[in-house]
Homo-oligomer: A and B are copies of this chain.
Amino acid sequence: MTPAAISFRNDYSEGAHPAILEALSRDNTRQEPGYGDDGPSQRAAELIRLSCQTPHAEVHLVSGGTQANLVVCAALLKPFESIIAAETGHICVHETGAIEATGHKIHQLPHHNGKISSDQIRELVQKHVDEHMVRPRLVYLSQSTELGTIYSREELTSISQACRELQLYLFMDGARIGSALTSEASDLSLADIAQLVDALYIGGTKNGALFGEAIVLCSPHAFPLFRHHLKQRGALLAKSRTLGAQFEALFTDGLFMTLARHANRMAMSLAAGIQELGFQFAYEPLTNQIFPIFPKHVITELSKSFSFYVWSPHDSDSDVVRLVTSWATIEPSAEAFVTRLRSLVGARS
């Protein structure tokens, strides 16, 4: 009998961390108000404000990332205003036109390792001069990016300054912000980021929750009546305690960071093993998504025991592969992967 393949396809393959499930059970029959007015949501919001060091921020919990992205963007923009993003940005490719469905254009800028620069932003804004063109008004960044890389303090500060000069809002998609913050290469804290952006969302789904993302409005004055937007887009959960309890647990005793750090550690363990065997990476391995380059026949063999995405072609003989780890990845899985890879390399040479 063949054992089930170990999956490195993504960071939402497992359920929730036990502390999250425990939080959902606790006080289960206690009556609570709905739509975010419940105790757990209120306490989670306060804990997140503390972590962000933003006492005046608004925190809203929603069920998914596409929802968070589309509500924030639609709330900030007038009909003729547009969004600037890296062409690799999640909103450009993998959200089925969710942003455009709210009526707004996205300018897709060429990326460098999944990132854009303040210079690119300035140049684009300068080209949009009159009423025959949309008006760029919002910059969207992912942290960590879709390619596993992260914006440094210098890069993010430079973008933030450009945004303020150019009267652009800055929004960070933090579906994987945990992995970014706990990367060994990171020089940014959550509080640093909260200072530099107008809004961000903190991803729960990909960091141990059953589901849920926490939208943090660092510049709440830019988002009048935000709950109206949430409700209109179907993003206000009736039994909101379900979200509140999870984020309360994640932001108690540092659980959020602990889980993200574990995921990164598993990725670094994989990366070290892969590198040692002489393979290159398409992008520097920094967080819980890594992108090694493997010969096609190696990929074919690996696929028999492990599940992962073949990301893009590299050259005629080899492809880039994406491996993702999570809070639930265990050391033996990473070891099994490297062991199998080693055996394939040995077989090859």
Contact = CB atoms under 8 A, between A and B. Distances in A.
A228 B64 contact: no
A105 interface: yes
A98 interface: yes
Contacts of A108: 108
Interface stretch (A13-21, A49-57, A335-343): A13-21
Given A21-B24, A64-B63, A108-B108, A98 B225 contact: no
A12 B34 contact: yes
Nearest to A6: B31
A5 to B, nearest CB: 9
A73 to B, nearest CB: 11
Contact of A105 (B28, B100, B132, B241): B100
Point out which of A7, A104, A228 has the most chain B C-beta atoms below 10 A from its C-beta: A228
A133 interface: yes
A188 interface: no
Nearest to A127: B93
Given A24-B15, A97-B134, A242-B210, A231 B66 contact: yes
Contacts of A24: 15-16, 21, 24, 210
Nearest to A238: B12
Interface in A95-145: 95-98, 100-106, 108, 131-135
B66 A234 contact: yes
B28 A15 contact: yes
B94 A225 contact: no
B32 A238 contact: no
Interface stretch (A74-82, A148-156, A253-261, A294-302): A74-82
A247 interface: no
Contact of A135 (B100, B134, B225): B225
B234 A234 contact: yes
A29 B14 contact: yes
Interface of A, helix, strand, loop or mixed by DSSP: loop
Q: Chain A, interface size: which category?
A: 35 or more
A12 to B, nearest CB: 5
Contacts of A348: none
Interface in A28-84: 28-35, 63-71, 74-75, 78-80, 82
A291 interface: no
A349 interface: no
A34 B21 contact: no
A179 to B, nearest CB: 15
A60 to B, nearest CB: 11
Nearest to A28: B15
A100 B100 contact: yes
A64 B30 contact: no
Interface of A: 4, 6-7, 9-10, 12-16, 18, 21, 24-25, 27-35, 63-71, 74-75, 78-80, 82, 93-98, 100-106, 108, 131-135, 205-206, 210-211, 225, 227-239, 241-242, 328
Given A78-B228, A80-B228, A101-B103, 15 more contacts: A15-B24, A15-B30, A16-B24, A24-B210, A64-B235, A64-B238, A74-B79, A79-B97, A82-B100, A93-B133, A96-B228, A97-B103, A131-B225, A131-B227, A210-B239
